[in-house]
Structures are given as structure tokens and as C-alpha cells.
Amino acid sequence: MLRLPPFRVVSPDTVEGVVAALQQPGARLIAGGTDILPNLKHWLDRPEVLVSINRLTALRGIVRDDNAGVLRIGAGTTLTQIAEHPDVQQLFPSLAQSAGCVASPSIRNMGTIGGNLNLDTRCRYVNQTEFWRGAIGGGCIKSEGNVCHVVPKGRNCVAAMSSDNVPVLMSLQAVIVQAGPEGTRTVPLCDYYHADGTRHTHAKPGEITTEVQVPLPTSARRTHYVKWCVRKSIDFPLVSVALRFDLDKDDVSATISAAHVVAGVLGARPRQVRKLDAILGLALNDPKVAQIVSEAAFKQCKPLANVPYETAYRRRMIRVYTRRGIEAMVNAG
Ligand SMILES: Cc1cc2nc3c(=O)[nH]c(=O)nc-3n(C[C@H](O)[C@H](O)[C@H](O)COP(=O)(O)OP(=O)(O)OC[C@H]3O[C@@H](n4cnc5c(N)ncnc54)[C@H](O)[C@@H]3O)c2cc1C
Ligand code: SF4
């Protein structure tokens, strides 16, 4: 049995109260607890106090705000609520897909979107028991040691951002609202992550995510999310790609006016696949589109040995799953 380290729990009922409680030394935020509690059982952190957001009912819910042109999703909204929400299913099918494929139904009922966006990075060498980490020479940069077992000569941690929803929300150009001691600010999700697995977000000390704002579509589009993992459920992705193509009209034979393709599970920051200009002006159902995009994803995405499975195989799976994702969009009409 894995034991938790000792800690206190406080549950303020306002955002200000949560932000104030986070000023205490050794305080950590907890939402659904589906990520942080397993990490604490592995003794990856020993917080003195967990600050729960469970009494912040204002952070739960999904509202379509036509005046602001966004869908507002409270950070405390569960993944099940997102996957099953009619506006999400109709306006952002790739988000309904990504929220609906996280882990298992019971984890999606507890896990929140705020926790998913702030999910700690993962690595096969650190998401282990303290005993296991000790057996490979006293841990690594992210835990108790000072070496990286993935890039032995590297000085940085390259643990993977394994959230299913982050690549999708980046492809949808979502913005998050952060509340902290200095007030509230908005941050484009594309600018929120950086390539350091020990501290991979630009959250300021004491800040919490309160809301995700997803811009409402202003043109016809097709979106899709593909995830490769070993099991069909209860598995983090080993390869993931979010696809979005803006179209001149609402038909798969319409021409592409913009493309947003984001791959996850590479390093600590998802990768936006660039150099897709060659598909602009082509019809989405032109076979060249799947070929060009999957080839660009293959060339630009180089998985590291931070999660299980051979890196060369995962890289090939990026190409395969990108192509399959585009074919699925086309076949769906
Ligand atoms: C067996 C298993 C399988 C899983 N599979 C997947 C998977 O396939 N895909 C996937 O994406 N995830 C997976 N997860 C991870 C996790 O369940 C989800 O990512 C979930 O959405 C996390 O949300 P939570 O509310 O439980 O976060 P918590 O565990 O409560 O918190 C996670 C982290 O986010 C921080 N945090 C929480 N809320 C906020 C906030 N509002 N503002 C700022 N920081 C915050 C916490 O401090 C903590 O560092 C899996 C977990 C388990 C145990
Ligand atoms: S990438 Fe390196 S430093 Fe980071 S968790 Fe893995 S082994 Fe540790």
C-alpha cells in the first residue's frame, strides 16, 4: 500500500480565500485530486497544506457568452461535464473527444479541466515509488537527484505534458484566466507552457486558473483529436495530435483557409506543427492534405524516452494517427 505524507486540508469558499491560503509555506492546490494524490503517494512532494477548490461552486459550469464570442468553462468543471455538454459537442467536437477519453469514467467524474491544464509533467523515471527511484541512483532532477535519465547529458527535465485537453485547447486558441495575489490576468494557452518539466507553466506563485475561454467559431471548420495509448481506457496518451482546419464553407470538399495542428506528449510543452502553408487552398478531402500534414507532424515531432514505448515507433505513430485523424474527419462528412 502506498501511504500519503501527512498534510492539512483547507477549503476556502472564495477565490480570494484560496489565493490567500496558497500564500502559506508549503501550500499546494487540489481540485479533483486524481493527479496530485497519486503523485503524493509516490512522495514526489510533501506539502504541509492542501488548498481545496471544491467549495468554489462559481468555478463550475459552462456558459456560452455570445457578446464576448467565447464559451466560458469554469476551471472546476469536471471532464465528464465537458464531454457531455451540448455546446461543447456541437461547437468543439475535438474538445468533447479529448475530455471524454481521459482515463476512466470515475476519474473523469472527479477530474477537472483546471487540474488537467495544470497537470504535472510525467516521466517513466519519476512517476514511481520513492523506493524505485532510489534503486536507479537516487532519483533525478525532477525528484531527489541531479541527473536526467532520459537525456543523461542534459541539464533540464524533459518530462512530458500528457494532458489530453491541452493540445486541443491550444488548437482552438483558448485563453485561460489566472487569479492571484496581484489580481486577475488572461493568458493565451499557447503561451502558458515552457520546456522545463520541473516547472512547465507560466503560472505565478499563488495563482490559480479560474476559467477557460474558448473562442466561438467564426467560420466553418472541422476538428478532431487522436490519441494513441496501449489500453483503450485508464491510460495517458503516448502520442496525441489535435487537428483543426478552418474551411471556406461547411463541407469537406471546401478549401482550407487555416490549419492548427498541435502534438502532445513530446516534452514539457506541446508542439504546434508549422509549415502547413502548402495545404491552404486545397480541399480538406484532397488526399494531399493528409499526406502533407502527417509528414510535417512526423518531421517536426521527435518523441523522447520520457514515457513508455520506443521513440522511433511513437514517432511513426504520430504520422499514422495524424493521417487517420484527417481521414476520419473527411469520412464523417
Ligand atoms: C489512472 C489515471 C489515468 C489518467 N489518465 C489520463 C489521461 O488519459 N489523460 C489526461 O489528460 N489525464 C489523465 N490522468 C490525470 C488526471 O486524472 C486528469 O488530468 C485530471 O483532469 C486532473 O484533474 P484534477 O482536478 O483531478 O487535478 P488535481 O489532481 O486536483 O490537480 C492536478 C494539478 O493541477 C493543479 N491544479 C488543479 N486545479 C487547478 C487550478 N484551478 N488552477 C491551478 N492549478 C490547479 C494542482 O495543484 C495539481 O498540481 C490520469 C490519472 C490517473 C490516476
Ligand atoms: S525527464 Fe529526466 S529529469 Fe525529468 S523526470 Fe524524467 S528522468 Fe527525471
Cα 120 to ligand 1 centre (Å): 8
Burial status of residue 38 (CB atoms within 10 A of its CB: 0-12, 13-18, 19 or more): middle
**pLDDT in single tens digits along all 333 residues of the chain:** 899 999 999 999 999 999 999 999 999 999 999 999 999 999 999 999 999 999 999 999 999 999 999 999 999 999 999 999 999 999 999 999 999 999 999 999 999 999 999 999 999 999 999 999 999 888 999 999 999 999 999 889 999 999 999 999 999 999 999 999 999 999 999 999 999 999 999 999 999 999 999 999 999 999 999 999 988 889 999 999 999 999 999 999 999 999 999 999 999 999 999 999 999 999 999 999 999 999 999 999 999 999 999 999 999 999 999 999 999 999 999
Sheet order of strands, 70-74 included:
62-65, 70-74, 208-215, 175-180, 183-188
Task: Identify which of 10, 39, 107 to mutate to test ligand 1's pocket (most ligand atoms within 8 A of the CB).
Answer: 107
Cα 269 to ligand 2 centre (Å): 14
Ligand nearest the Cα atom of residue 82: 1
160 Cβ below 6 A of ligand 2: no
Ligand nearest the Cα atom of residue 179: 1
Q: What is the pLDDT of residue 168?
A: 98
Mapped onto helix, strand or coil, the DSSP state of residue 243 is: strand
pTM above 0.95, yes or no: yes
Virtual torsion, Cα 104, 130, 311, 232, nearest 10 deg? -10
Strands (DSSP E) along 181-321, which ranges?
Answer: 183-188, 208-215, 220-228, 239-247, 256-264, 271-273
Judge contact between 208 and 52, C-beta under 8 A: no
168 Cβ below 6 A of ligand 2: no
CATH 3.30.460.10 describes domain 1-54: no
Q: What is the longest distance spanned by two Cα atoms in the chain?
A: 59
CA distance 18 to 208: 8
Q: What is the pLDDT of residue 97?
A: 98
Ligand nearest the Cα atom of residue 267: 2
Ligand nearest the Cα atom of residue 114: 1
Q: Which atom of ligand 1 is nearest to the CA of 107?
A: 17
Domain boundaries, the chain: 1-54, 220-332
> Which CATH fold would you assign to the domain 220-332?
Enolase-like; domain 1 (3.30.390)
Q: Which residues contact 287 (CB under 8 A, 6 or more apart)?
A: none
- pLDDT tens-place string over residues 279-324: 999 999 999 999 999 999 999 999 999 999 999 999 999 999 999 9
Strand pairing category for 183-188 and 175-180: antiparallel
127 Cβ below 6 A of ligand 2: no
Cα 160 to ligand 2 centre (Å): 9
Q: Which residues contact 312 (CB under 8 A, 6 or more apart)?
A: none
141 Cβ below 6 A of ligand 2: yes
CA distance 266 to 314: 10
Cα 68 to ligand 1 centre (Å): 28
Q: What is the pLDDT of residue 232?
A: 80
164 Cβ below 6 A of ligand 1: yes
CA distance 323 to 142: 35
212 Cβ below 6 A of ligand 2: no
- pLDDT tens-place string over residues 138-150: 899 999 999 999 9
290 Cβ below 6 A of ligand 2: no
End-to-end CA distance of the chain: 50
Cα 147 to ligand 2 centre (Å): 8
Judge contact between 242 and 318, C-beta under 8 A: no
